[in-house]
Structure 1
Amino acid sequence: MARKIGSRYTAHQILGRGSAGTVWLGEGPEGPVAIKLLREDLASDQELVSRFVQERTALLGLEHPHVVSVRDLVVDGNDLALVMDLVRGTDLRTRLDRERRLAPEAAVAVVADVADGLAAAHAAGVVHRDVKPENVLLDMQGPLGPGGSHPALLTDFGVAKLIDTPRRTRATKIIGTPDYLAPEIVEGLPPRAAVDIYALATVLYELLAGFTPFGGGHPGAVLRRHVTERVVPLPGIPDELWQLLVQCLAKAPASRLRASELGARLRELLPMLAGMGPLDVDEPDAEQEEDAPEEPPASPAPAGEPVRRRGAVPLVPGAKPADSNRDTHTSMRVPAPDELAGGARGTARAPRASGAPRPGSARNRAAARRRRLAVGAGALALVAAIGVGTWLATGGDEGGAGPQDTRNSAPASP
């Protein structure tokens, strides 16, 4: 059912839902638009509305071929909405859920587009703060790029900043999506442009591997990994691409590339990635205790139901993880230094080549048990062989005669 948004726009149908609000297909004076209607609890927050209006100039002035432009901001009664360009296509999360992982050439082309958009935003003094596949749209009507990739556009600029009001988060809270949060945000430092580079490098890792480098399990554990763990190589990844990823996933913000540098470096790598198929890797298990009891294999999801990935934890009241497993802004306590230091475990979530048993998994433990049984059986066989050899050496004496008895044995006939 159509509804009016302000005096100039009409929302016709819902295109999607997220933690911050609902996206509608709408109509305005200049034609079709996308309208992001923020949640009612956000619209009723007067402090947020004031901040929304203050950010108007920055958001409306951001224009780039790889950024979804904001055309208007509407504050009308209980309606708080961003009116944006309508992109005819889908988001990157939907494609990733369908294909699991992308070929390196296509993944790099998509991320290079987003890096170009971030470069324009950073030059204008705008930090996105919530770069993730849900916020990357693929223009299905645009020309195909390297690896058959569609043009990628970054959307939802300013939304995380708008929601991150001092009253909502205080100094001990953080805003973002756990899998993509830079270490400095976890440690409570103010977000700068480098946090977008870290998040975008995490997206590139996910496009290549099918999972994020530090995700999985409780959100608190994910945040700790960002600070304490090293990212480890993906089997089969070209070294040049891996070194670029490592640099942009550096714990120190100053060690990361700028967005313009990242975009240029990625495009330089495209020729060497042409024709390369998706990487053949499996996702690592979440950390397990060595003596943890084995769990029965999970039953497959019923037909027609989406497969829920690990880490799909709704952290905002009213958020619907079924719509998108990582489409949620985190608002949670900053871990204390001792909590972060206490969780250091090196590279516990190392990816592995497809078909290899996962460290700590039931299959891995079963394989270890089989190896122990094989060694035990071998030892028993060796003991038995020694016993037989000793029996033969003593002439097979059933009485188990000692060495003094061998002197009385008759010599063999010639």
Structure 2
Amino acid sequence: MTPNLFSRGSWPEARRIADVLRKETIGGALLLAGALIALVWANSSWADSYHALLGLRVGPAAWHLDLSLATWAADGLLAIFFFVAGLELKREFVAGDLRDVRRAAVPVAAAAGGVAVPALFYTAANLGGAAQGWAIPTATDIAFALAVLAVVGRHLPTALRTFLLTLAVVDDLLAIVIIALFYTADLAVLPLGLALVPLVLFTVLVQRRVRSWWLLLPLACAAWALVHASGVHATVAGVLMGFAVPVLRRDGADEPGLAEHFEHRFRPLSAGFAVPVFALMSAGVTVGGLDGLFSALTDPVAIGVVLGLVVGKPVGITLATWLAARFTRATIDAGLAWIDVVALAVLGGIGFTVSLLIGELAFGAGTARDAHVKVAVLTGSLTAAVLATVILRLRNRTYRRLHEAEQVDADGNEIPDVYER
């Protein structure tokens, strides 16, 4: 049988994805609010108070954790975000619809294309220059993209929503691998080795389905602190702990496992607090009027970032998806067209949270180049959001028809008929 791209998955998975999207959409609205407050504050007469807040140092100096609030947001709060991303990805590939290799291949290939091609666009714009920023346009911001989707793509079929969510999670995790491999300046082997102790203990406890926070939280904090001290970006600890949590129940029952339990607990904290606070601490850049904006956007670094997000992401995602379809001889599911893939690929060009983080790691927080990166990330993300909105609006009538077909439940058993066929 010829495989279909974006064919409808199972009803439990569709219901779970809808729940995830609702929470991430609220988080996206809070993220946008945090970014807007930061921009207004940094360009107001109270800009000095904003920068003073970022530089305020808190934490125990004896443990080398007297960090600025900006560092706590980037290294600490984003570890929660990546813990949830690790849980989501593991659950999707172990118990979700993507445990089928044929279904998983498409979003994974799309994510890989969406990482590689923007990096090439950036590098081409910075040959012989600031090449260390090549990874800035590689990650899709989950919350920001889903916030746009909630406004203009309410009728998008479930399979396309799942594709976008999985793609965003995978390329964020690819970005974390890039951070660990290419943005670790000074590696301290002893703290990194010691970090294995709390990580192993954490793994043993969760594998035994222990949920006691007073046991797990100290181990998580110890692992985070030791990874931070090693020079590896501390968010890597969040991903590793997310992957350690088991998905399936020990008794084999078809009920939510520990990974889903933790995901329900921590996703509101991640989407509703961690990511918005990071946006507040990272998006504030003093533009300096039209002259300052022009100066920032004519920097080759900014040009590379904008090209990577607005052109590289759509090209990479669409091309990788098309190649996956050609390799597997798959066809687009009934009612959909390749323009729908292009729309999601353009939406994938919304890079915010991880892009800002990599910009700080590549050029140093507070530097002139870091400011240019922030302007470019905001400009590229907003441009991608507008272009995706236009395409999604043009296809909205088709989406509404497909969405209505997904909702029909003639037999009244709460499961739409299309999922029972």
Rg (Cα) greater in structure: 1
Name the TM tier (shorter chain): under 0.3
Q: TM-score, normalised by structure 1?
A: 0.28
Q: Which has the higher contact order (CA 8 A, sep 6+)?
A: 2
Structure with bigger strand share is: 1
